[in-house]
Chains A and B, each alone.
Chain A
Amino acid sequence: MDVIKTQQISPRPIEKVIVHPLVLLSIVDNYNRVAKDTRKRVIGVLLGTSFKGTVDVTNSYAVPFEEDEKDPSIWFLDHNYHESMFSMFKRINAKEHVVGWYSTGPKLRENDLDIHRLFHNYVPNPVLVIIDVQPKELGIPTKAYYDVEEVKENATQKSQKDITLVVKITPFSLANSSETLA
C-alpha cells in the first residue's frame, strides 16, 4: 500500500495532468506486443507525483488484466502483481507514488468505474488516463478523467465526469533520470 504523502492528505481537485513521453512509449509498446489486433485493452498503473492540483505522470507499468467480453462486470486485475511491482519501483525512485491508472480504451467502458474504485485503495483521488494507441488524427492522444461523487435522489452515487483537464505532454526534459532513457 502506498504511503500517503502530505500533499495528498487534503486532495485538491486535479486541474492539470502532465504525461511524460516515457509513459506513452511504454504503453504503446506494450499494447503492440500484447493486444494489437484484438479487441482487448491493456490496463496499467501510473506513477508520478501530484502537487497543488497538478499531476505529473512520470512512469508506468502494465498489470495482468482480463475481462469478459460479453459480461463487463466480470473482470480480474492482479493487484498482488501491482503491489509487488510498485514496491520494487519505489526502491529506485522513492518520490514516485501511484497517481492513477491508464487504459488503452479507446473509449470509456462500463467497468472502468469499478476499476477506478479499486485504485482508491492506493491513492485518494486517482486519475484515469485513456491513451489512444491508434490515433486517426493528429493531436494529443490522451484523455484524463477523475471521478466525482454525485448525490442522486435516492442515494449517493459515484460517476465519472469528463473534466476539462489540460493534458500536457511535456517535451523532452532532462529533469528526471528516468527520462534520459526515453
Chain B
Amino acid sequence: MVLEATMICIDNSEWMRNGDYSPSRFQAQADAVSLICGAKTQSNPENTVGILTMAGKGVRVLTTPTSDLGKILACMHGLEMGGEMNLAAGIEIAQLALKHRQNKLQHQRIIVFAGSPIKYEKKVLEMIGKKLKKNSVALDIVDFGEDEDGKPDKLEAFLASVNNNDSSHIVHVPPGQNALSDVLISTPVFTGDGEGGGGFAAHAASVGVTNFDFGVDPNIDPELALALRVSMEEERARQEAAAKKAAEESSNPEKEEEVQPQSDSQHATEQVTDPMDEDDALLKHALALSMNIPGSDSSAGDAEMSEATNDQELAMALQMSMQDSSKDQSSESDVSKVLGDQSFMSSILSSLPGVDPNDPNVKDLLASLPGQSESQEKKNEDEQPKDDK
C-alpha cells in the first residue's frame, strides 16, 4: 500500500495501428492503462495517476496526477494515433509533472509503454536515467510491439541506470494471443505496488485468465486449489526425503505419514477417493518400497512434477507404483494388477476433474511408464475426460 504518484506515458505513434496484439496494439495498451489506473487507485486511495501521450504533434499531458479514476478514463477516450514516439521528452515531462504533485509525500513513478522503435542512443537514455535516479523516480518499462534490434538492450540499460533498490522493473511482452493486460497482471508492474494490487489482479483475472499454479482459480474452488498445493508440497518433501534416506526401512512410518496427507489431498479430487480408498494401504506399501530406488525415482519424479500440473500427485503415485511393479513382482502384483487394469484406470482418470489427457505432459508421463501397453490405451481414454476441462 505504498503511497505513489504515477505518470503513465502512452505510445500513440503510427506503430500502434498494428494488430499483432488483439484487437490492436493501441487498444491493448489502453486496456492495460485502465487496469493499471484501477489497481493503483485501489491499492491506496491517496494514490494519484496522470497520463501523457508521447507521439502525435508532441508530448501532451492529458491529465496531471489525480486520484479521480473517472477523469483518467475519460481522457483516454478519443485518442488518435500518429507520428513518432518521443521517449526522452515524454519521460522528462512526466518527471516535471511529478515534481508538481500535490502531495509531496508520494513516491514518484513513471510507467512507460514502449511500443515503437527507439531512436535515441543508449547514452542519452542512460543520462535521463541518472537524472531520474537522482530525483528518486522509479521507472517501469513495458516493452511490447515493435521488435527492433537493440531495443531490449537499450531499455535494459535504461532500466539499470534508473534502478534503485529494485524499485524499477521492465517487462517484455511478445506478441501473441495473450492480452497485454493479462500478461501485465502477473508482473511486478502490478504486484510491485503491494498486496492491494494482488486483490485487484485476482478480481480482474476471474474475468477469464488462468495464470494460477494449477489451472484452478482459487476464487472458484479454493479447496481444490489448496489441496493441490498441499499435495504438491508434500510430494516435494517426500521426494527429498526419499532421496536422502535411501533404502531405509525405518523411514517407512515417516513415509506413511506423508502419504496420509497426500491421500487426503487426493480425497479432495472427488470420485477418485472411492476407488483409491481401498488402495491406500497398497499405495503406502508401494511408495515405501519406491524409496529403494531413490536416484532414478526422485529425478524422474521431479521431472514429471515440473511438467504435469493438475494431476501431479496422482501421476506420481501411479508412476511409483508402476515402477515398483516392475521391480517387485510378488508384493506389487496386487497393485500392478489393480493399476494395470485398463478399465479401472480409465474409470479413475475419467472421474478426475481437470485431468487433461491432451496435455502433452500427461502423455509423456504415461508413455514413460515402463512397458505398459495399457498405458497407451489409458492415454486414449484420458483424451475423453480431458475434453471437458
- Please determine whether A80 and B64 come into contact, CB atoms closer than 8 angstroms: yes
A158 to chain B, nearest CB (A): 12
Number of interface residues of B (CB under 8 A): 12
Residue of B nearest to A118 (CB): B60
B343 to chain A, nearest CB (A): 71
B99 within 8 A of A: yes
Question: Within 8 Å CB of A78, what residues of B?
Answer: 64, 97, 100
Binary contact readout B91-112 vs A (1 if CB under 8 angstroms, 0 otherwise): 0110011011000000000000
- Please determine whether B61 and A76 come into contact, CB atoms closer than 8 angstroms: yes
List residues 22-53 of chain B with CB under 8 A from any CB of chain A: none
- Please determine whether B100 and A74 come into contact, CB atoms closer than 8 angstroms: no
Residue of A nearest to B57 (CB): A117
Distance between Cα atoms of A71 and B58 in the complex (Å): 14
- Please determine whether B66 and A76 come into contact, CB atoms closer than 8 angstroms: no
- Please determine whether B92 and A66 come into contact, CB atoms closer than 8 angstroms: no
Distance between Cα atoms of A80 and B50 in the complex (Å): 11
B246 within 8 A of A: no
A162 within 8 A of B: no
Residue of B nearest to A114 (CB): B58
Residue of A nearest to B65 (CB): A80
Distance between Cα atoms of A73 and B60 in the complex (Å): 12
A53 within 8 A of B: no
Distance between Cα atoms of A64 and B102 in the complex (Å): 11
A172 within 8 A of B: no
Asked whether A74 and B61 contact (CB < 8 A) given A66-B100, A80-B66, the answer is no
- Please determine whether A76 and B89 come into contact, CB atoms closer than 8 angstroms: no
A25 to chain B, nearest CB (A): 25
B63 within 8 A of A: yes
Number of interface residues of A (CB under 8 A): 14
Question: Within 8 Å CB of A79, what residues of B?
Answer: 61, 64
Question: Within 8 Å CB of B61, what residues of A?
Answer: 76, 79
Binary contact readout A45-69 vs B (1 if CB under 8 angstroms, 0 otherwise): 0000000000000000000101110
Binary contact readout A63-94 vs B (1 if CB under 8 angstroms, 0 otherwise): 01011100101111011110000000000000
Question: Within 8 Å CB of A81, what residues of B?
Answer: 64
For B63, B66, B100, the residue with the greatest tally of chain A CB atoms inside 10 Å of its CB is: B100
For A66, A73, A76, A114, the residue with the greatest tally of chain B CB atoms inside 10 Å of its CB is: A76
B222 to chain A, nearest CB (A): 43
Distance between Cα atoms of A73 and B66 in the complex (Å): 25
- Please determine whether B97 and A76 come into contact, CB atoms closer than 8 angstroms: yes
- Please determine whether B92 and A68 come into contact, CB atoms closer than 8 angstroms: yes
Question: Within 8 Å CB of A73, what residues of B?
Answer: 58, 89
8 closest Cβ contacts across the A-B interface?
A76-B96, A66-B96, A80-B64, A64-B100, A74-B92, A78-B64, A76-B93, A76-B97
